[in-house]
Chain A
Amino acid sequence: MSEIPLVSELRAKFGEGIIDVNLEAIDEWVEVTPGVLVEVCQYLKEAEGFRFDMCNSITVVDYLHTDPKKAAKVDWDPHLELVYHLSSIATKLTLVLKVKIPRWKNGVEGDLPGVPSVAGVWSTADWHEREAYDLSGVNFLGHPHLKRILCPDDWEGHPLRKDYEMPLEYHGIRGR
């Protein structure tokens, strides 16, 4: 695995921060811990020969089966997976970063889990993170103004969570 320069450099630099590297996937990905996320991103943006200067998208995938029967079959615990799709205009390379976080902070339902914000690394991450916060309920720590972007400010819940239920009513408008 060490023959891939990026991986070896990342491992050398961040050591334990790099949890997993998957080269079997359609789009190969690297998983990092939330703690080193910003440093990794900063490094990737500036690393000579890679220069991931563009953050294409930030996606939150909610791994949760609401149906207990199905939940029993799968081999993962419920969690959120943040997928950062990076690419480079300069070198035309692409990269997928993943961060896994719990669905709720400290397991308390309603407390949004936190991830350090990369809005300081790529300005475009600002809105992507706002969208992720709005729709999937991830608290991006250090984001300049984390607030809802697509849903109204007084909307309740985060629609792209698997356990989200549409409110019965919103300002007198029937929801379901």
Chain B
Amino acid sequence: MDLIAVAWPYWHQFFFIIFAATAVGFGFGVLLSKNVVRMAFYLVLSLGSTAGLFFLAGAEFVGAMQLMIYVGGTLVLLIFGVMLTAQKDFINMDTHTQDWILATIVGGSLLMVLLFAAFGADDWSTPQDINDAQVEATKEATPLGLALTGIRVDKLGDSGDAVDDGKSGYLMPFIIVSIHLLVVLIGAAYMARTKKLSHATDDKSSRAKLMLFKMEHESEQLEEETYVVTHRGKSALNPLDPQNEN
């Protein structure tokens, strides 16, 4: 009962380790896997776990967006691309050994630097007390939305802030991003379009066009040919046929 009765303040750590381990583990999966489809699958899991970390850090809206846009949208697109180019030769592609060596050295040193930076600053590595009410407030998405329209709810108290003039916030970047997305949409559609008709259109589908064309013309001819005959079918060689007698 003693063990049970312990109040346990380590929930955050517990879930952090789970999510961080899966994110990093599947990140390694992406790196080490040769099969491009499996890479995509591992990437899904890695990014999903990252979304979990976002939730843990209190950024619920960003986490949900990560799941929705990144995992649900971008990666589906990516897998689509994988499948479109998935020929036997390209699914498994070995990396050159010298690339491995070089990348490991550079990557390892970069990791060292980054980790050193991450743990180097005392301000970052010392845990702080948590203010419940403020935490809950950050979880709300409305301030985010308002910030995108130029209203900074969290900086209300700041005197002399540009908020007063309605200039702060992220209205401008928001508009730039929306125009950017529009440009990307058009650009991607334009780029992926082949300039010349693909071979599929060249022969087979145009055959279908041709057939329809033929049909249209045939039906014109048919009008002369079709006429309603009410008499019964007869052998053309029937000597008793009155038609043959004249």
Among listed B25-33, B179-187, B231-239, interface-contacting one: B231-239
Look across to chain B and name the residue whose beta carbon is closest to the beta carbon of A47.
B236
Whether the pair B244, A94 counts as a contact (CB closer than 8 A) is: no
Instruction: Choose among A4, A5, A6, A92 the residue that contacts B231 (Cβ–Cβ < 8 A).
Output: A92
Chain A contacts of B225 at CB under 8 A? Answer: 51, 90
Instruction: Choose among A4, A5, A6, A92 the residue that contacts B232 (Cβ–Cβ < 8 A).
Output: A92
Count of chain A residues near B, Cβ 8 A = 22
Docked pose: A95 CA to B239 CA in angstroms? 13
Q: Is B229 an interface residue (CB 8 A)?
A: yes
Binary CB contact string for chain A from 90 to 101 against chain B (1 if under 8 A, 0 otherwise): 111111100000
Classify the interface of chain B: helix, strand, loop or mixed: loop
Q: Which of B210-229 contact A (CB under 8 A)?
A: 225-227, 229
Instruction: Choose among A5, A23, A30, A92 the residue that contacts B229 (Cβ–Cβ < 8 A).
Output: A92
Whether the pair B226, A94 counts as a contact (CB closer than 8 A) is: no
Whether the pair B232, A95 counts as a contact (CB closer than 8 A) is: no
Look across to chain A and name the residue whose beta carbon is closest to the beta carbon of B237.
A28
The verdict on A4 contacting B237 (CB below 8 Å), with A90-B225, A90-B226, A90-B227 known, is yes
Docked pose: A23 CA to B236 CA in angstroms? 11
Q: Is A21 an interface residue (CB 8 A)?
A: yes
Q: Is B203 an interface residue (CB 8 A)?
A: no
Interface residues on B, range: 10 to 19
Whether the pair B245, A92 counts as a contact (CB closer than 8 A) is: no
Whether the pair A27, B229 counts as a contact (CB closer than 8 A) is: no
The verdict on A29 contacting B237 (CB below 8 Å), with A4-B244, A5-B244 known, is yes
Instruction: Choose among A3, A7, A27 the residue that contacts B245 (Cβ–Cβ < 8 A).
Output: A3
Chain B contacts of A3 at CB under 8 A? Answer: 239, 244-245
Q: Is A136 an interface residue (CB 8 A)?
A: no
Whether the pair B236, A93 counts as a contact (CB closer than 8 A) is: yes
Chain A contacts of B235 at CB under 8 A? Answer: 27-28, 93-96
Instruction: Choose among B226, B233, B237, B239 the residue that contacts A87 (Cβ–Cβ < 8 A).
Output: B233
Which one of A4, A6, A93 has the greatest number of beta carbons of chain B within 10 Å? Answer: A93
Docked pose: A6 CA to B237 CA in angstroms? 7
Whether the pair A28, B233 counts as a contact (CB closer than 8 A) is: no
Docked pose: A19 CA to B202 CA in angstroms? 50
Chain A contacts of B226 at CB under 8 A? Answer: 90
Which one of A4, A7, A30 has the greatest number of beta carbons of chain B within 10 Å? Answer: A4
Docked pose: A5 CA to B242 CA in angstroms? 12
Whether the pair A95, B237 counts as a contact (CB closer than 8 A) is: yes
28 contacts between A and B (CB under 8 A): A3-B239, A3-B245, A4-B239, A5-B244, A6-B236, A6-B237, A6-B244, A21-B237, A23-B237, A23-B239, A28-B235, A28-B237, A29-B237, A30-B237, A50-B236, A52-B236, A90-B226, A90-B227, A91-B229, A93-B233, A93-B235, A93-B236, A94-B234, A94-B236, A95-B235, A95-B236, A95-B237, A96-B235
For the complex with contacts A92-B233, A93-B234, 19 further pairs of A-B residues with Cβ separation under 8 Å are: A3-B239, A3-B245, A4-B237, A4-B244, A6-B244, A21-B237, A27-B235, A28-B235, A28-B237, A29-B237, A87-B233, A90-B225, A90-B226, A90-B227, A92-B231, A93-B233, A93-B236, A94-B236, A95-B236
Residues of B within 8 A of A (CB): 225-227, 229, 231-239, 244-245
